[in-house]
Structure 1
Amino acid sequence: MAHVAVVTGASGFIATQLIKQLLEKGYTVRGTVRSTKDERKTEVLHKLAEALPGNLELREADLLKEGSFDDAVAGADFVFHTASPFFNDPEDAQRDLVDPALKGTRNVLNAVIKSKDTVKRVVLTSSVAAVSVTGGKPKNGDRYNEEDWNTGSSVTHEPYRYSKYVAEKEAWTLSKQEGFELVTILPSFVIGPVLGRRQDATSIKALKKIVEGTADTIVNRVIDVRDIARAHILAAELPKASGRYLLSHADTVSIGDVYRELSQRFPQYKYPAFEPEPSKPLYDNSKVQNELGLKLIPVRETLADAANSLYSLGIGTPAHK
C-alpha cells in the first residue's frame, strides 16, 4: 500500500518539487493550498499528477485557521510542513510573517497530535535563517552548523529570520511535549529549475532577476531545490534521521561567479561583469551528507538547469549579444 504524505503550502517552490519527487516514488500526496480554485497556483500540480505514477489530492487549509489541517493529516504516514511566508519588506512583520509562521506551525502540528497513531514522522522546512543572524558568529569555529540558533533577530530586526526561528523552536517544543517524531531541514537560498510559470513567489522573482542579468547581488549561500526535496524525503524515510539538517553549499557564491558561469553556458546572451570575490566557507553541511547520504548537486549545474527552465518557459530571457 502506498504511503500517504501531506505537503503543506503545495504550490510553493520547494513544495512543488517535493510533490514531484513523492509522486515519482508512488506516494499518495495530499497537498494543502488556500484555495483549490486558484488555477494559477494549482495548474502545475495537476500537470504533475497527470504525468507521474502517484496520486495527488488537493485540500484547502489556512495557516491561521485552527483545525483546517485536520482533514488532510488524518490517516497520513508523513507530514511535510513547508508552508511559511517569505517576502521582503512586509507592511506588518508580526501579521505578515511571524503569525503565519508560528500559528501555522502550531495548527499543522496540532493536527499531527490528533493523528499520532498513524503519523510516523513530521519533516519541517525551517531555514538557515533560524541558525544565523546578520553580523553574528557561529557558536564554535568559523562555520555555522546544526548546534547554532539565531537568537539575535526579533520582530523588528530581521523579522523573516525571527519567524523561522520561533516557528522551529515551537515545533521542537511540541514534539517533546507530545511525543511525535520531528526532523527539520534548514536550507539556504533556494535556486534550481522551476516547474511552472508562476512568477509571484519571492524565490522565483529573485531567480528571474539572476538569469535575466538584472541582479546586482546574490545572497552568498545557495542550495538546489531538488536537493531540498530529496533531503525531506530521506529525512522522512530513513529510520536513523533525527534532529536538524543544515542544507547549503559550504562556500559563498558571488554574483560575479553566477554570471561567469551563465556566460559560459549561454554564450548567446549578454550578462553583466563583476569583479571576482573570494569564496569563503560559511556552513558545515557534513551532517546531511553523512547521515542522509545526500550528495549535493554542483552549483554550476544548478545554475544552468535553473536558467534553462526559465528560458524554456519564456521567463527572464536576457538580451542577446
Structure 2
Amino acid sequence: MAGSFKERVLLTGGSGFIASHVLDTLLAHGFSVVVTARSPEKGQAIVGSLDESLRADVAFAVVEDVAQDGAFDHVFQSELSFDYVIHTASPYSFKVEDPVRDFLDPAIKGTTGILKSIKAHGPSVKRVVITSSSAAILNPLKHEKVYDESKWAPFTWDDAIANPQFGYPSSKVSSHAPARQVGLSQPRRTPGTEPPVTGTQKLAEQAAWAFVADEKPSFDLATICNTYTFGPVQRQLPALDAVNTSNQRIRDLALGRMRGGLEPTAPVFTWADVRDVALAHVRAATRPAAGGKRFYVVGGYFSNKRLADVIRAGHPELAGRLPPGGAGDDFPRGVYGFDNRRSREVLGIEYRPLEDSVMDTVASLLEWQSRH
C-alpha cells in the first residue's frame, strides 16, 4: 500500500475492462495513477468517469500505438517519476492478413518496448506487472491433470504462423471534464467460438522474462495469467456490444439472447472475478515476495448452465429471457484441475464465489441499460 506520500503507478491500456478495475483498486489503496490511452478524448473519458473527488489523483498520457518503437519514451521522459508500472495494454488489429505483422510482432514488441523504455528512462520504477493470460499456460490439445504457474502452452512462433487461430489480438474495450495529460473493440466474439489458446500471450510473456534475464534492469517483473474474467462492466462502457469477451455470455443470458438454447461453454471452464484479478495486479506490484513470479489467477469453474441457474435464482424477473431450467449442463467430466495456491498465499487473494460475481455483473448490465 502507499505510504504517507502517494506512490505513482503507470497503468497502460486504461480504457480496458481489467484496467478500469485496476484503476479503481489503485485509487482505493491511495496511489496516484497515470493511465495511458490511444487519444486525448479516451484519456479524458477515463478520468471523467471517476468520482470528482478522485480525479486529482489521476492523469493520462497518450500512447497511440504501443507496438511502435519508443512508444512509451515520452511518458518516462516527462516530469513525473513512477514507482510501479502495470502493463495491461495490448495492440490489436481488426483485420488479420499476416500473422507476423498483424499480431505476433505487435504483441511482442508492445511488451518488450515498454520494458526498454523503462530501462532507458524510468530509473525510479521498482517493479513491472504484465497482464498475460491463462492461454500462456493451458495446452488444449492435451490438457494437464492440474495446471499451475510452472506450465507453459506448447505453441511456438511457427505454430502461430501456420495456424492463425493460435494467435489473436487481445480484446480491449475502448471508452468515451477535461483532465491532465502527461506528455503528449475488438469485434465481438460469440461465446464458445474463441480460439482455445493463443501463441501471442505465451510468446509475449516469455519475451518479457527473457528481457529481464538478459538486460538485468533495476526493476523486477511479475505476470498475471488470469483466466476468463467476469464482473461488473466498466463505467465508460460505450455499448453493450463492447462488453469484454468473458462477460458476453452473462450479457447474452441476461438479455435473452440464449433464450432458445445455451451456447456451448467450451473451450474454457475456469473463471475469476475482475475485482480479484485487479487486486492481484496491485499486490503483485507492491508485495516484495511477488517479484520474479508468475501468478495463475483462477477462482473456480463455471458452465453456461451454471450461469443461467445463478441468474434465474437471483433475478426471477429475468426467467423469461433464460433457456429452460431443465437444459443439460455441458460441464465435462474429468476437466483439468488448477492450483491457485501461489495467488492465495503470496498475494492473499480470497476468491469471490461464482454467485456473487454473476449477480454483480448482471446488476451492472441492468444499471447500464437503465442509463441508456
CA contact (8 A) 1:16 1:45 kept: no
Which of 352, 358, 364 aligns to 1:297? It is 352
Q: Partner residue of 2:107?
A: 101
- Aligned AA (1:52): L
Q: Partner residue of 1:249?
A: 299
Displacement, 1:67? 1.5
Displacement, 1:263? 0.2
CA contact (8 A) 1:24 1:52 kept: no
State percent identity of aligned pairs.
29
Deviations 1:154-202 (A, max 9, x none): 3224113111001000000111122230000000011100122334254
Which of 180, 204, 211 aligns to 2:254? It is 211
Q: Structure 1 pair 34/26, CA: closer, same or farther in 2 (3 Å)?
A: same
Say if 2:267 is the partner of 1:228. Answer: no
* TM-score of the superposed pair, with normalisation by structure 1: 0.88
Structure 2 residue matching 1:137: 3-state secondary structure: coil
CA contact (8 A) 2:7 2:31 kept: yes
- Larger RCO, structure (CA 8 Å, separation 6 or more): 2
Say if 2:337 is the partner of 1:259. Answer: no
CA contact (8 A) 1:254 1:277 kept: yes
Rounded to whole Å, the distance in 1 between the matches of 2:230 and 2:74 is 32
Q: Structure 1 pair 93/189, CA: closer, same or farther in 2 (3 Å)?
A: farther
Q: Partner residue of 2:238?
A: 198
Gaps of 5+ in 1: none
Q: Partner residue of 1:276?
A: 329
Rounded to whole Å, the distance in 2 between the matches of 1:122 and 1:235 is 9
Which of 175, 195, 207 aligns to 2:212? It is 175
Gaps of 5+ in 2: 169-197
Rounded to whole Å, the distance in 2 between the matches of 1:85 and 1:222 is 24
CA contact (8 A) 2:231 2:357 kept: yes
* TM-score of the superposed pair, with normalisation by structure 2: 0.77
Deviations 1:133-164 (A, max 9, x none): 322222xxx11110000123632241131110
Displacement, 1:92? 4.4
Deviations 1:208-247 (A, max 9, x none): 3243242513331111110111000111111111310000
- Aligned AA (2:278): A
Rounded to whole Å, the distance in 1 between the matches of 2:345 and 2:133 is 19
Rounded to whole Å, the distance in 2 between the matches of 1:103 and 1:51 is 37
Rounded to whole Å, the distance in 1 between the matches of 2:92 and 2:232 is 19
Say if 2:66 is the partner of 1:63. Answer: yes
CA contact (8 A) 1:194 1:309 kept: yes
Q: CA RMSD in A?
A: 2.4
Rounded to whole Å, the distance in 2 between the matches of 1:260 and 1:88 is 35
Q: Structure 1 pair 201/52, CA: closer, same or farther in 2 (3 Å)?
A: same
Q: Partner residue of 2:50?
A: 48
Rounded to whole Å, the distance in 2 between the matches of 1:162 and 1:305 is 32
- Aligned AA (2:115): L
- Aligned AA (1:256): K
Q: Partner residue of 1:147?
A: 150
Say if 2:124 is the partner of 1:81. Answer: no
- Aligned AA (1:264): A
Displacement, 1:87? 8.7
Q: Partner residue of 1:29?
A: 33
- Aligned AA (2:150): E
Aligned pairs, number: 310
Q: Partner residue of 2:185?
A: none
Displacement, 1:89? 8.5
CA contact (8 A) 2:129 2:285 kept: yes
